């Protein structure tokens, strides 16, 4: 299993200088990929912009959206952004797409929320027809999302949780893949949050970021990996369940978090 | 914590009171119960051995008292037709509910918890202000859950109609009784809970219940009816009533188990159908988990989140198994053709939690008797190695795969298009490849397998890129070919719009299918399959006579001594689409038209549907088609282990299985 690290593009106080510093540290560290999140109505850096900046500051490390909310962008613009980042980075992009969880993002983007699934399907049909070189992952837990993944994508981007939740989702993804008679197996990517330097601030960020989910925000915050031991346990658990790439997403903007995570993984 | 209010003095509430007082004698624990201490609904409570370890660790004193009172058994008896089949190694214990409550009441009182019976809670908010934490242990109809906003409980019912009796008939095993009557099937779930008494639950479908007139009679008369119906089994013993009314089992699912300082445990949080006997077990385990979380974390929110994270995945697994079990008992009427050994095996593996391998460990003799019955010999291999006689053919084993190197009994490759425009992608095999079929047959036979060949027409799902890139990704216009279907609407976004097939085109397609059948027969292909699934051409016409016309023409061409199969979408997974009942009716009609095997699949009729993907998610559908349309079935649905295949075959849920990775 490869291990990637998130760029802090949605954590409090992001600025380009921090992102670039972070990206360089990650490039020098034991990480396979830099991942970004996507939220419109939240203080954050737009994911393709963040990845474009990271592409310029690095040469080796993979780049991934985990995930981008496809329907917030027009199909042609989404493809343009993705292929631009892919081109700028010399083919390092993995495009994770899903419908997202927030209605207010759709309201702000002027996109009909109830059409989100149909729009994402259209975007995927376009991407796969026109840009087959671009690796695509699809996320989401519903039967519809899993069908979408099996039909259009190269693999599945899981939304986070303990290893057993990943295992259950992975079995569903493989079942959908088999039902669509796709050759081989789907790629399986996972993600989890970490915050090692200042766990309380990190968990408070998660409660704020996920406040729209109601009490579930507490559950997400409870899953924040706040010690080297918790990181190691989760990494082992995901590896055992067949995860191929695990992206550890930051809850703090401090670039020292990259070193802390590298240390935690180094003692694995 | 200074003070905790517990609402409800059932096993969950009382056990939590005990554990909280043990953990911290300074915490004031007040249990409020509307009923009297000796009021109880139901008779016995059943536990699996797995629970008992947790109870011993949590409170040795009550563990000893409870287990001293236990009735124990390790056998399940299944009385079906005129036979009793027994399976050992299923360790269970039971106790009278009233005795369990008394033990817990005494212990809670001894530890200083305050128990207030005959007390209704008038003001929930006053209760919440009065305590640091309020526990909703007040059961299925929890007042707290219903009055506090933010608990978005999904409530409903699950399973058939049932009534809960006691009896002085004391079986020495967990006993299922199946009794056929002029009105339909009645079934009993019975287990002893002390030396004089048993729980005796009678269950039947609402239709049979009405036909028997039970919707019209009093509590006393309905008990008399059951007493008479099971007079032979009761052997002179009688039933006892305790508000024993016919009802449906309530289903409760909560997405959130706590709000601020209120937390749900036991039935207030979740229920699991009685047929897996886990309600009290789950409730007491909730209490153990919650008490531990409260001890580990001084912050209340953190503790409640940890409790929920700990318990929810376990409860969800039980609720899934309970739902499957409840659905099973709704459909036992359709399983009455199964021979007793297979019926018993099917019953014991109903919830999907116990399979062939697991049962073989519990009772090797029982499983061997099932295997022997299946195989017809004394020394028999596991079920998947039992040959299948199908339409004049003997298939060596029950596994179907895409290539012969796997050891599968039957090999079915990619769908062969019956016309050039019926291809899915440019590389799809067509009838033009028929020259290679005799060699293919030979190589598959050499590997010890038989060859099946699937004929199909892509319809409006044609002219796409190869599946390495995905499905339904249209070819560029200059590489595509025209599509036809039963509609002029495209299948998916950016798909080419088909034209409605003309009568002449349909005739050409029928001719393609019969030509394919002739070529396959000449090449020595062993089994022929027609594709009527996943929104391809024949599936799109399932509302018309056309697929049956094709079937008739193919059946006339295909040798009578070789089996014919149809891959069928049995349900659409969308509202207003093909229901399971519709699909079963289609399967029955196909069988009447000369089809020997239905390959059960579902979904993809339209681009956007909602399949319930999980391991083995098509198995229950296959079981329905097999028992209700009375036809042999082949099923996939992501089966990855030989144990799953053994279980499905031995239980009669399918006759052949696709095994992933085989």
Q: How much of chain B exceeds pLDDT 70, in percent?
A: 100
- Tokens 């988990």: give the residue: B289
Tell me, yes or no, whether B341 lies in a domain: no
Instruction: Say if CB B341 and CB B383 are below 8 A apart.
Output: no
- Give the phi and the psi of residue B267 in degrees, each rounded to 5: -60, -25
- Tokens 């649905």: give the residue: B637
**Eight-class DSSP state of B190:** E
Number of Cβ within a 10 Å radius of residue A126:
17
- B231 pLDDT more than 70: yes
Q: What is the mean pLDDT of residues B120-142?
A: 93
List CB contacts of A165: < 8 A, sequence separation 6 or more. Answer: A158, B313
Question: How much is the ipTM here?
Answer: 0.95
The verdict on B292 and B393 lying in the same domain is no
Which of A152, A173, A219 lies closest to B470 in CB terms? A152
In three-state secondary structure terms, B303 is helix
Nearest-angstrom CA–CA distance, B367 and B358: 10
- A15 pLDDT more than 80: no
Q: Specify the pLDDT at position B40.
A: 72
Which among A111, A97, A115 is positioned nearest to A48, based on CA atoms? A97
How close, in Å, is residue B607 to chain A by CA atoms? 9
Instruction: Say if CB A250 and CB A8 are below 8 A apart.
Output: yes
pLDDT in tens, B630-654: 999 999 999 999 999 999 999 999 9
In three-state secondary structure terms, A96 is strand
Nearest-angstrom CA–CA distance, B13 and A81: 57
The verdict on B136 and B279 lying in the same domain is yes
Tell me, yes or no, whether B373 lies in a domain: no
What mean pLDDT is reported for chain B? 95
Q: Specify the pLDDT at position B662.
A: 65
Which region among B117-131, B430-444, B548-562, B643-657 has the lowest average model confidence (pLDDT)?
Answer: B117-131
Q: Find the closest chain B residue to A122 by CA distance.
A: B493
How close, in Å, is residue B209 to chain A by CA atoms? 36
- A268 pLDDT more than 70: no
Which of B468, B613, B660 lies closest to A176 in CB terms? B613
Contact criterion met (CB < 8 Å) for A125 and B493: yes
Taking the domains of chain A in order of start, what are their residue ranges? Answer: 2-266
The verdict on B320 and B438 lying in the same domain is no
Instruction: Say if CB B609 and CB A145 are below 8 A apart.
Output: no
List CB contacts of B367: < 8 A, sequence separation 6 or more. Answer: B345, B356, B359, B360, B650
Instruction: Say if CB B181 and CB B226 are below 8 A apart.
Output: no
**How does residue B151 score in pLDDT terms, banded at 50, 70 and 90?**
confident
Which of A128, A171, A215 lies closest to B469 in CB terms? A128
Tell me, yes or no, whether B340 lies in a domain: no
pLDDT in tens, A189-208: 999 999 999 999 999 999 99
Contact criterion met (CB < 8 Å) for B471 and A180: yes
Q: Where are the alpha helices (DSSP H) in chain A?
A: 16-28, 47-57, 75-88, 103-109, 116-130, 143-152, 163-179, 199-209, 216-222, 228-240, 256-266
What are A261's two structure tokens?
């995570």
Instruction: Say if CB B104 and CB B18 are below 8 A apart.
Output: yes
Q: Which of chain A's residues have a Cβ under 8 Å away from the Cβ of B614?
A: 168, 171-172, 175
- Tokens 């343009």: give the residue: A80
CA distances from B347 to B214, B328, B648 (A): 26, 8, 12
β-strands B262-264, B258-259 pairing: antiparallel
The verdict on B306 and B417 lying in the same domain is no
Q: Which of chain A's residues have a Cβ under 8 Å away from the Cβ of B255?
A: 216
Q: Which of chain A's residues have a Cβ under 8 Å away from the Cβ of B613?
A: 143, 146, 172-173, 175-176, 179
Q: Residue B14: which H helix or E strand, with range?
A: helix B11-23
Q: Find the closest chain A residue to B616 by CA distance.
A: A175
The parent domain of residue B624 ranges over 384-658
CATH of the domain at B184: 3.50.50.60
- Output the DSSP codes for B371-414: HHHHHTSSS---GGGS-EEETTEEESSSEEESSGGG--SEEE-S
For the stretch B376-380, contacts whose Cβ atoms lie closer than 8 Å and that sit 24 or more positions apart, written own/partner, are none
Torsional sign, CA B219, B220, B221, B223: positive
- Domain A2-266 carries which CATH code? 3.20.20.30
Nearest-angstrom CA–CA distance, A43 and B147: 37
Nearest-angstrom CA–CA distance, B593 and B482: 31
How close, in Å, is residue A26 to chain B by CA atoms? 31
Q: Residue B88: which H helix or E strand, with range?
A: strand B83-96
Nearest-angstrom CA–CA distance, B116 and B37: 9
Helices (H) and strands (E) in chain B, counts: 21, 28
Contact criterion met (CB < 8 Å) for A174 and B306: no
Instruction: Say if CB B168 and CB B196 are below 8 A apart.
Output: yes
Q: Find the closest chain B residue to A163 by CA distance.
A: B313
The verdict on B493 and B640 lying in the same domain is yes
Tell me, yes or no, whether B370 lies in a domain: no
- B455 pLDDT more than 90: yes
Q: Which of chain A's residues have a Cβ under 8 Å away from the Cβ of B617?
A: 175
Where a domain ends, among B282, B303, B329?
A: B329
Helices (H) and strands (E) in chain A, counts: 11, 8
Nearest-angstrom CA–CA distance, B585 and B565: 16
Q: Specify the pLDDT at position B380.
A: 86
On the CB side of B409, CA atoms within 13 Å amount to: 21
Which among B298, B297, B292, B265 is positioned nearest to B22, based on CA atoms? B292
Q: Which of chain B's residues have a Cβ under 8 Å away from the Cβ of A178?
A: 636, 638, 660
Which of B312, B470, B477, B535 has the highest number of chain A CBs within 10 A, making it the mutation to test binding with A?
A: B470
The verdict on B323 and B388 lying in the same domain is no
Q: What is the mean pLDDT of residues B132-149?
A: 93
Instruction: Say if CB B532 and CB B589 are below 8 A apart.
Output: no
Q: Which of chain A's residues have a Cβ under 8 Å away from the Cβ of B148?
A: none
Q: Specify the pLDDT at position A78.
A: 98
Contact criterion met (CB < 8 Å) for A129 and B494: yes
Nearest-angstrom CA–CA distance, B18 and A64: 52
> In sequence order, what are the beta bridge partners of B77?
B86, B175
- B41 pLDDT more than 80: no
> In sequence order, what are the beta bridge partners of A248?
A5, A192
How close, in Å, is residue B43 to chain A by CA atoms? 37
Q: Which of chain A's residues have a Cβ under 8 Å away from the Cβ of B471?
A: 150-152, 180-182
Q: Find the closest chain A residue to B617 by CA distance.
A: A175
Instruction: Say if CB B616 and CB B638 are below 8 A apart.
Output: yes
**Eight-class DSSP state of B474:** B
pLDDT in tens, B402-439: 988 889 999 999 999 999 999 999 999 999 999 999 99
Which region among B34-43, B91-100, B378-387, B520-529 has the lowest average model confidence (pLDDT)?
Answer: B34-43
Tell me, yes or no, whether B539 lies in a domain: yes
Q: Find the closest chain A residue to B614 by CA distance.
A: A172
Q: What is the mean pLDDT of residues B54-73?
A: 93
pLDDT in tens, B182-214: 999 999 999 999 989 999 999 999 999 999 999
pLDDT in tens, B2-27: 999 999 999 999 999 999 999 999 99
How close, in Å, is residue A171 to chain B by CA atoms? 6
What are B283's two structure tokens?
């409730």
Q: Specify the pLDDT at position A12.
A: 86
**How does residue A267 score in pLDDT terms, banded at 50, 70 and 90?**
low
Q: Specify the pLDDT at position A17.
A: 81
Q: What residues in chain B have their Cβ under 8 A from chain A's Cβ atoms?
A: 150, 255-256, 258-259, 301-302, 305-306, 308-309, 313, 465, 467-474, 476, 492-495, 573, 601, 603-604, 607-615, 617, 636-638, 660
Q: What is the mean pLDDT of residues A46-61?
A: 97
The verdict on B433 and B324 lying in the same domain is no
List CB contacts of A49: < 8 A, sequence separation 6 or more. Answer: none
Instruction: Say if CB B238 and CB B168 are below 8 A apart.
Output: yes
Which of B258, B304, B611 has the highest number of chain A CBs within 10 A, making it the mutation to test binding with A?
A: B611
Which among B257, B220, B256 is positioned nearest to B241, based on CA atoms? B220
What are B7's two structure tokens?
């609402």
Q: Which of residues B377 and B144 earns the better pLDDT score?
A: B144
Contact criterion met (CB < 8 Å) for B258 and A214: no
What are B270's two structure tokens?
């979740």
Which of A132, A143, A223 lies closest to B611 in CB terms? A143
Q: Which of chain A's residues have a Cβ under 8 Å away from the Cβ of B603?
A: 147, 179
- Tokens 């000893």: give the residue: B64
- Give the phi and the psi of residue B311 in degrees, each rounded to 5: -90, -35
CA distances from B315 to B266, B269, B270 (A): 10, 10, 8
- B290 pLDDT more than 70: yes
Q: What is the mean pLDDT of residues A231-260?
A: 97
Q: What is the mean pLDDT of residues A111-131?
A: 97
Which of A143, A151, A152 lies closest to B573 in CB terms? A143
Nearest-angstrom CA–CA distance, B277 and A5: 46
The verdict on B137 and B201 lying in the same domain is yes
Q: Which of chain A's residues have a Cβ under 8 Å away from the Cβ of B258?
A: 215
Structural domains of chain B, count: 2
CA angle A45, A199, A169 (to 5 degrees): 70
- Output the DSSP codes for B533-576: -TTSHHHHTTTSSHHHHHHHHHHHHS-TTS-EEEEEE---SSTT
Number of Cβ within a 10 Å radius of residue B583:
24
CA angle B130, B132, B133 (to 5 degrees): 105
């Amino acid at each position: 299993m490869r291990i990637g690290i998130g760029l802090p593009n949605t954590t409090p106080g992001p600025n380009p200088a921090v992102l670039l510093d972070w990206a360089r540290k990650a490039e020098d560290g034991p990480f396979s990929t830099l991942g970004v999140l996507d939220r419109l109505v939240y203080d954050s850096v737009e994911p393709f912009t963040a990845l474009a900046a990271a592409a310029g500051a690095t040469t080796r490390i993979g780049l991934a959206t985990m995930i981008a909310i496809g329907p917030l962008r027009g199909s042609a613009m989404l493809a343009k952004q993705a292929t631009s980042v892919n081109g700028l980075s010399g083919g390092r992009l993995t495009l994770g797409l899903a419908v997202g969880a927030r209605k207010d993002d759709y309201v702000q983007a002027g996109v009909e929320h109830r059409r989100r699934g149909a729009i994402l399907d259209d975007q995927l049909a376009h991407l796969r027809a026109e840009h087959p070189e671009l690796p695509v992952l699809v996320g989401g837990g519903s039967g519809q999302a899993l069908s979408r993944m099996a039909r259009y994508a190269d693999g599945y981007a899981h939304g986070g949780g303990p290893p057993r939740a990943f295992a259950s989702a992975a079995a569903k993804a493989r079942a959908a893949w088999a039902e669509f008679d796709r050759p081989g197996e789907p790629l399986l990517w996972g993600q989890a949050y970490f915050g090692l330097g200042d766990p309380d601030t990190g968990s408070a960020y998660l409660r704020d970021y996920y406040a729209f989910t109601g009490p579930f925000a507490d559950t997400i915050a409870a899953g924040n990996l706040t010690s080297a031991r918790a990181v190691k346990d989760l990494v082992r658990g995901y590896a055992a369940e067949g995860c191929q790439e695990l992206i550890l997403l930051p809850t703090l903007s401090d670039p020292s978090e990259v070193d802390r995570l590298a240390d935690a993984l180094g003692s694995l | 914590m200074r003070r905790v209010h517990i609402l409800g003095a059932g096993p969950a509430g009382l056990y939590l009171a005990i554990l909280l007082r043990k953990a911290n004698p300074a915490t004031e624990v007040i249990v409020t119960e509307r009923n009297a201490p000796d009021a109880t609904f139901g008779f016995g409570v059943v536990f699996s051995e797995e629970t008992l370890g947790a109870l011993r660790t949590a409170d040795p004193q009550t563990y000893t008292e409870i287990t001293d009172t236990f009735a124990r058994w390790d056998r399940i008896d299944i009385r079906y037709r005129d036979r009793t089949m027994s399976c050992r190694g299923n360790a269970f214990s039971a106790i009278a509910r009233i005795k369990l409550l008394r033990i817990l009441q005494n212990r809670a009182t001894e530890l200083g918890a305050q128990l207030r019976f005959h007390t209704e809670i008038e003001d929930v908010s006053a209760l919440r202000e009065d305590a640091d934490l309020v526990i909703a242990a007040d059961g299925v109809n929890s007042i707290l859950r219903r009055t506090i906003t933010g608990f978005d409980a999904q409530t409903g019912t699950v399973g058939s109609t049932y009534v809960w009796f006691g009896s002085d008939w004391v079986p020495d095993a967990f006993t299922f009784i199946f009794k056929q009557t002029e009105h339909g099937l009645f079934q009993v779930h019975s287990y002893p809970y002390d030396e004089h008494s048993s729980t005796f639950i009678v269950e039947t479908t609402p239709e049979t219940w009405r036909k028997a007139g039970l919707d019209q009679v009093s509590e006393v008369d309905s008990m008399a009816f059951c007493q008479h119906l099971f007079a032979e089994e009761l052997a002179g013993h009688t039933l006892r009533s305790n508000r024993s009314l016919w009802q449906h089992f309530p289903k409760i699912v909560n997405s959130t188990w706590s709000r601020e300082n209120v937390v749900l445990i036991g039935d207030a949080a979740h229920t699991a159908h009685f047929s897996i006997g886990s309600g009290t077990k789950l409730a007491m385990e909730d209490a153990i988990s919650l008490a531990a979380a409260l001890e580990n974390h001084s912050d209340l929110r953190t503790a409640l989140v940890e409790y929920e994270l700990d318990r929810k995945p376990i409860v969800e697994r039980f609720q899934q198994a309970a739902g499957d079990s409840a659905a099973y008992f709704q459909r036992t009427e359709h399983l009455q053709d199964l021979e007793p050994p297979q019926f018993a095996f099917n019953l014991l593996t109903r919830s999907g939690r116990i399979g062939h391998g697991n049962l073989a460990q519990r009772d090797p003799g029982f499983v061997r008797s099932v295997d022997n019955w299946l195989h017809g010999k004394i020394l028999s291999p596991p079920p998947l190695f039992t040959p299948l006689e199908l339409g004049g053919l003997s298939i060596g084993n029950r596994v179907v795969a895409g290539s012969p190197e796997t050891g599968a009994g039957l090999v079915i490759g990619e769908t062969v298009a019956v016309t050039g425009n019926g291809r899915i992608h440019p590389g799809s095999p067509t009838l033009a490849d028929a020259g290679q079929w005799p060699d293919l047959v030979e190589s598959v036979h050499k590997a010890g397998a038989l060859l099946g060949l699937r004929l199909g027409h892509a319809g409006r799902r044609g002219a796409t890129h190869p599946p390495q890139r995905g499905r339904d990704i249209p070819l560029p216009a200059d590489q595509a070919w025209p599509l036809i279907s039963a509609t002029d609407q495209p299948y998916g976004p950016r798909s080419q719009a088909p034209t409605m097939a003309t009568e002449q085109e349909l005739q050409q397609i029928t001719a393609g299918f019969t030509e394919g059948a002739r070529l396959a027969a000449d090449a020595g292909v062993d089994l022929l399959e027609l594709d009527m699934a996943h929104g391809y051409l024949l599936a799109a016409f399932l509302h018309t006579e056309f697929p049956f016309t094709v079937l008739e023409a193919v059946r006339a061409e295909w040798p009578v001594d070789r089996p014919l199969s149809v891959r069928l979408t049995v349900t659409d997974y969308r509202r207003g689409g093909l229901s399971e009942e519709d699909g079963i009716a289609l399967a029955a009609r196909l069988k009447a038209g000369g089809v020997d095997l239905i390959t059960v699949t579902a979904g993809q009729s339209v681009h956007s549907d909602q399949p319930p993907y999980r391991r083995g998610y098509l198995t229950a559908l296959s079981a329905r088609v097999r028992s209700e349309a009375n036809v042999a079935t082949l099923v996939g649905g992501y089966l990855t282990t030989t144990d799953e295949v053994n279980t499905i075959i031995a239980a009669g849920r399918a006759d052949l299985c696709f095994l992933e990775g085989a």
